[in-house]
Amino acid sequence: MMVHLACAGTCAVAMLPLGAWAQAATAPVVLDSVVAVVNDEVILASDLENEIHLSSLEPRSAADPHETETDALGRLISRALIRQQMREEEGQEALPSAQEVASRLQLMRRELPACVRSKCETDAGWQRFLLSHDLDQDEVEDYVRNRLAILHFIELRFRQGIRISHEEIEAYYRDMLAPQYTAGEKAPTLDEVSPRIEEILLQQKVNVLFSDWLENLRKQGQIEVLDPHLEAALGPAAQGAGTQ
Amino acid sequence: MRWGGQLWLGVLLAVWSVTGLCVPGGWAQAAANGAAQPKIRTAKAEDPAARWAGEPVRSISFENVTATRLNPLPQHLAQGVGDPLSEEKLATSLRQLYATGLFETVEVVGRREADGVGLIFRGKPSRFIGLVTVDGAKGATLNTQLEYASRLTAGTRFSTTRLDAGLAQMRATLADSGFHEPVITQTLVEHPEEQLVDIAFHVTSGPQARVGDVQVTGDPGMSVSEFRRLARLHPGARVNHETTDRALSGVLKRYQKENHLEAEIKLTAQDYAPATDLANFHFSATRGPVVTVRVEGASIDPDRVKRAVPVYEEGTVDEDLLNEGNRRLRDYFQRQGYFDVKVSHRRLTPRPDEVDIVYTVDLGLRRRVEKVAVAGNHYFDAATLKDLLSVRAADYLDHHGSYSQALVAADVSALQAVYQNNGFSRVTVSPDVSQATPPHGSASRKPAGLSIVYNIVEGAQQRVGAVEMSGNEHVETSKLLPLLNTAPGQLLSPQNLAGDRDTLLTDYLSRGFDQAQVSVAQTADPKDGGLVDVTFQIHEGQQIFVRNVLLTGLHFTRDSTVARAITLHAGDPLDQSALAETQSNLYNFALFNEVRTAIENPRGAETFKTVLVQTTEARRWALTYGFGFETQTGQPQNNCAGFKVTGTPCNPNGKTGISPRVLGSVTRNNLFGREQSASIQGTYGLLEQNIDLVYQNPHFHGNKSFGLTFTGGYANSQDVTTYVASKLDAGLRVTENFNAPSAGISRANTFIYEFDFRRVKVASESLQVYPAAIPQLAAAVRVGGPGLTWIRDTRDSPLDAHRGTYLSFQEFLSNHAFGAQAQFNRLDVSHSNYFGLDHGRIVLARNTRYAQERAYGPASDELIPLPERIYAGGPISLRGFAVNAAGPRDPETGFPIGGAGALMNSTELRLPPPNLPWLGNSLSFVLFHDMGNVFTDAGEAWVSAMRIHQPNRDACKVLNNSGNTTSLADPIPTGPSTSTGVQGQCNFNYFSHAPGLGLRYHTPVGPIRLDFSYNLNPPIFPVNINYSLARPASQPQVGEARHFNFIFSLGQTF
């Protein structure tokens, strides 16, 4: 009897997790799904999750401290559009060399704010950073490689043909730089800073051209966000784009 | 630090926002701003896909879209049954499934099973657009316009977003047509088994807007009322889709007329007031400066400047048009011999409201291309190579020749291409231009000579070594190699290789590989430098097959009628050319107004696809009508007796006149739901009136090669000045074409097997023959028997041929055995040749016709009925004669009576159109020569060919002066009796010659023709009886056919 009771008690205790297990066995669980389509290129929930996960490698401003799914999806859409253009214009994506990737990785370990706090400059600090963010070295290298390829493409596509006139450099020096120095503080001469001002203006123009180009790609492309909660990722430029 | 932060703050912010990768300064700045840690993804332990990773997948199933429809993908999914679950493979599988296009949304769910994981791929199935119809809109074509405006293309993905966008487009189209308050409803009919949805729109147009207020801003340079007048925006006028365009073009036309070529005008807004149904228009107009164009440095007619500088014809000024002006002016002066001419332009603004476009021309020396030669050529002869050249030496037609740097470059390319295509891949061609010094200094008007020699270094000739294929996994090499022109040992030809690449591509496309790519790799044979190995590298891509062919739109037409037109069937490779052939076959039935073909889910990666064939049947009743006329000297005039009343003289040569005609027909197409038609056709004109019943079956029993036609009707014709004939006839024709590839005979050939039966009668009161012959010739006669026509047509264009040949051979036998009263055999052969001369600019055309007719049987059958005889003369035969007036004539009246033989030849030199003011190059000239005649007997035809004078003309001048009475009992003519009656003493067996000049005004439906001919040796003939006189025999005279004739008609002569 005791045995039976004991047995009954033991069985009762054992039955609870077994019942839960049986319920879990029959209840279907969504493993992955399509959340958006960019010109026939699919973005999956797992892609989105991965993008959020990798956002720990990105600097964020105080005004916008948290990564949201909408932000991440917007970025994935933009990158998909750019990669499609890269394939069209270059035939195939030109990946950066291992040396470039390693160099950029070192820079990241030195400069990325989250990394600075984890003392990533040392290998031990870097490993701690990776572990704390559930990342591994290959993942990070892929991240850097893909983004470098995009940066190269943008630089190549938009820098060519931009000319900065001397008048523009002078205007920037006069209106933007010189007023930052207080009276008595010696400002650098125009000749000293001309090359750097030219670079700033060049990048500003690249930014403008790039933004217009990307907006145009979004307008002309066929972008479909299948999850209504993420539709904000389409952005104003993409509203009304074809969904065929 | 300040500088560093300032420097990088603005750098690549936009790039960062999308790539997430920023430059170091960006990170530094973010750190300074105290950026927070981003959200970390779900821990792997909480993620089911990660938690179950590595566990075996025990089952895979699909929901909402069947595995059958997805076949064969389920067997090729990245994540397979039995494999360990993998996140990457799940992601790839989802991408594979979405790429089929069959899912609108798709997800994968997992369920624990006893010893692993079961997977279900499920989602919302896609729907595709099926048939889109629009009805109810006011206006003849508005429903069709709305259908296109919706942009809901058959076969593509359906979504509510696209439907809404389509509705918005339709509303915009209706608003353009003045309908601002339409009500559009749509009915969706789902076909879930095919994932198709048909959309039927019904439109209630509502009131049509009328023109209300017009406002103009800017500097229009005119009052609003004038603007309104020019824009044709009359108050209260209905607004339609042309209103805005017409308004803009009307005002712009005025600006252009006043040389305000930079004027800008646009509709800025159009608002509609529902209460009044008025549409108010708001325009912005700026007339801009007056633009003038002038040329400096050379003398040129102002009108030519206007034609050369396209700012006038385009009505706007931009740099492209001005550069085009440079080019046209340069071409013009180069045609004048100034080959080194330089043209530039500049834009001046002397006053704010004036713009001067000044073209500066530096003529350089005037030259004449004396010589164009090739040197160093061994493989090709010089004549062959010179035919390829665009630089041309001066000749009698072109006083300066043609030369420019561009032409020289084109010649070099042409010469290199012809050598390279014959294995000389290393050929070099270098032009050597030598320019002579002007004879007496640059002031001389005599052009300086210019010679050009193309020096050719041929190099070694290469041949094809091995020919191989790679990448052809689904098609055996043994099936592909026979398709190629390239073969080992052949001359290496880039042209052949390109052609073979296209052939392979076409073959792959026909096998359903719509993404196939073919490239050609050439490698020098290491052992033999003269050989080049060729490899055709094929990337096949996915092969697509037909799942089903859905044919819609048949209401009256039987399925069996169109079944044979469908060349694609379920299971076949999806061959785009077969689909185009299906569409073409259906159009060829002439039963459909529109046939659209589409592929369901065109961008999806399905292996089997559904083909949509959407037809719109044509109206079954068709009414057609037309009007035409021709004018000429020698118009038949065949009621001379009737002219007595009016006193109008009657002439055997006819009169100068116009013969108008109207044509009409009523046709019932799609007879019995088949490719058959029945029609009533009628013509009413001065020369002919007829009405016919016609039954047509163009593909008898579905056979593409045979057509059946039955005709029956009544005709009244006055096209021979001698009589009015009536004809009651019936005919059965079987036409055989040879369009099938396996026909064995060229498709240029057509055979017509026919049986005709007719009753012909000549109205006795109209007959202009000697009195004693009237009873016999006026008697009604039955004619019937079999006939055969053979046509061989290789002309490039039937309306205006430039090369090729045309042969027609017609044989007809009339015999008692077929119920005929007249027995005769008629053979009529006509052959035309067209040769292109001077690179096809000039066409030499020739036509020869031989005809013979022989009566047979008893003596009572000897006389061939008048309407059945052979006639010639007029617009399409001998232009030196009036219509059907060549050959034998009645011995007493002088009217043509036709013959039993004919031989004639026409030669035309069709000259290239000159560039004429107003007419451009629409008008061209023709020099022609017609010779030949119609004879009493075919045997006379050949012997008469060398006879240029009418034989024994004096006999034709012997008149019968004994008939100065009212009696017509006499005279009875004498002379030989033939199958065309008693011939009298006057002989017409000789060749008439008529040179002439023709004008051709070219139109899309063929040239309009005006021919002037001069008959060098027209016949004379006695006229003893003139029925238009009160006393017909009272004024005997000698008649003569006209020397001068003109003809105005449509189409080339032959």
For residue range B205-259, what is the model confidence (pLDDT) as tens digits?
Answer: 999 999 999 999 999 999 999 999 999 999 999 999 999 999 999 999 999 889 9
User: Which of B41, B106, B109 is opposite residue A28, by nearest beta carbon?
Assistant: B109
Contact yes or no for B1029/B959 (Cβ under 8 A): no
Q: What is the DSSP letter of A186?
A: P
B292 has which bridge partners? B356
Q: What are phi and psi of B1021, to 5 degrees?
A: -160, 150
Domain boundaries, position A117: 30-180+187-243
Alpha helices per DSSP H over B451-600 = 477-480, 494-510, 559-563, 576-588
Residue type, B965: T
Per the omega criterion (within 30 degrees of 0), is the bond before B917 cis?
no
Average pLDDT, chain B: 89
pLDDT in tens, A32-48: 999 999 998 999 999 99
Assess whether pLDDT exceeds 80 at residue B795: yes
Flag if B19 and A150 touch (Cβ within 8 Å). Answer: yes
Query: Which residues does chain B have within 8 Å of residue A29's beta carbon, measured at their own beta carbons?
Result: 48, 109-111
CATH number for the domain including A127?
1.10.4030.10
Flag if B91 and A56 touch (Cβ within 8 Å). Answer: no
Flag if A199 and B19 touch (Cβ within 8 Å). Answer: no
Residue A131, in any domain of the structure: yes
Confidence of residue A7 (pLDDT cuts 50, 70, 90): very low
Distance (Å) of CA A136 to CA A141, B44, B517, B555, B1020: 9, 13, 40, 67, 114
Closest listed residue to residue B146, CA positions, set B93, B109, B118, B182: B182
Assess whether pLDDT exceeds 70 at residue A5: no
* Smallest CA–CA distance from A213 into chain B, residue: B14
Q: Given phi > 0 = left and psi -120 to 50 = alpha, else beta, which region is B974? A: beta
Query: Which residues does chain B have within 8 Å of residue A31's beta carbon, measured at their own beta carbons?
Result: 48-49, 52, 90, 107-110, 119
Residue A16, in any domain of the structure: no
What does DSSP say about strands B367-375 and B448-457: parallel, antiparallel, or unpaired?
parallel
Q: Which residue has the tokens 């030809």?
A: B493
* Smallest CA–CA distance from A202 into chain B, residue: B11
Q: How far is B614 from chain A (nearest CA, A)?
A: 21
Q: What is the DSSP letter of B422?
A: T
* Angle at CA of residue B259, ends B257 and B260, nearest 5°: 105
What does DSSP say about strands B749-762 and B677-685: parallel, antiparallel, or unpaired?
unpaired
Flag if B19 and A79 touch (Cβ within 8 Å). Answer: yes
Query: Which residues does chain B have within 8 Å of residue A144's beta carbon, measured at their own beta carbons?
Result: 21
Residue type, B404: S
Residue A8, in any domain of the structure: no
pLDDT in tens, B509-544: 999 998 899 999 999 888 887 899 999 999 999 999
Could you give the number of structural domains in chain A?
A: 1
What does DSSP say about strands B107-113 and A29-38: parallel, antiparallel, or unpaired?
antiparallel
User: Which of A42, A57, A147 is opposite residue B98, by nearest beta carbon?
Assistant: A42
* Residues whose CB falls within 8 Å of the CB of residue B576, separated by 6 or more in sequence, listed in order: B509, B510, B514
Flag if B20 and A30 touch (Cβ within 8 Å). Answer: no
How many residues does the structure list for chain B?
A: 1054
How much is the pLDDT for A62? 55
Query: Which residues does chain B have within 8 Å of residue A78's beta carbon, measured at their own beta carbons?
Result: 18-19
Tell me how far apart the alpha carbons of residues B70 and B609 are, in angstroms, rounded to a whole number: 11
* Smallest CA–CA distance from A196 into chain B, residue: B7
Query: Which residues does chain B have within 8 Å of residue A66's beta carbon, measured at their own beta carbons?
Result: 36, 38-39
Task: Kindly provide the ipTM of the predicted complex, given to two decimals.
Answer: 0.79
* Smallest CA–CA distance from A58 into chain B, residue: B20
Q: Which residue has the tokens 């353009």?
A: B176
Residue A4, in any domain of the structure: no
Q: In what order do the strands lie in the sheet with B196-204?
A: B157-158, B127-135, B196-204, B183-191
Handedness of CA B614, B616, B617, B622 (dihedral sign): negative
Closest listed residue to residue B652, CA positions, set B628, B634, B666, B625: B634
Flag if A42 and B94 touch (Cβ within 8 Å). Answer: yes
Confidence of residue A134 (pLDDT cuts 50, 70, 90): confident
Assess whether pLDDT exceeds 90 at residue B418: yes
Residue type, B356: D
Residue A22, in any domain of the structure: no
Assess whether pLDDT exceeds 80 at residue B769: yes
Query: Which residues does chain B have within 8 Å of residue A214's beta carbon, measured at their own beta carbons?
Result: 14, 18
Contact yes or no for B975/B982 (Cβ under 8 A): yes
* Smallest CA–CA distance from A50 into chain B, residue: B41
Alpha helices per DSSP H over B425-487 = 477-480
* DSSP codes joined into one string, B26-93: HHHHHHHTTPPPPPPPPPGGG-HHHHSTTSBEEEEEE-SS-HHHHTTGGGG-SS-TTSBP-HHHHHHH
Tell me how far apart the alpha carbons of residues B54 and A32 are, in angstroms, rounded to a whole number: 16
pLDDT in tens, B711-763: 999 999 988 999 999 999 999 999 999 987 777 788 899 999 999 999 999 99
Contact yes or no for B231/B248 (Cβ under 8 A): yes
Q: How far is A25 from chain B (nearest CA, A)?
A: 4
pLDDT in tens, B968-994: 555 678 888 889 988 888 999 999 999
Query: Which residues does chain A have within 8 Å of residue B38's beta carbon, measured at their own beta carbons?
Result: 52, 55-56, 58, 60, 66-67
Question: Averaged over A150-168, what is the pLDDT?
Answer: 85
What does DSSP say about strands B264-273 and B901-910: parallel, antiparallel, or unpaired?
unpaired
How much is the pLDDT for B447? 80
How much is the pLDDT for A237? 43
Residue A1, in any domain of the structure: no
Tell me how far apart the alpha carbons of residues A86 and A73 are, in angstroms, rounded to a whole number: 20
Q: In what order do the strands lie in the sheet with B264-273?
A: B210-219, B278-286, B264-273
Tell me how far apart the alpha carbons of residues B984 and B390 are, in angstroms, rounded to a whole number: 62
Tell me how far apart the alpha carbons of residues A234 and A224 are, in angstroms, rounded to a whole number: 8
* DSSP codes joined into one string, A193-225: HHHHHHHHHHHHHHHHHHHHHHHHHHHHS-EEE
pLDDT in tens, B599-622: 999 989 899 999 999 999 999 999
Assess whether pLDDT exceeds 80 at residue B892: yes
Assess whether pLDDT exceeds 60 at residue B354: yes
Query: Which residues does chain A have within 8 Å of residue B47's beta carbon, measured at their own beta carbons?
Result: 49
Residue A17, in any domain of the structure: no
Question: Averaged over A121-133, what is the pLDDT?
Answer: 88
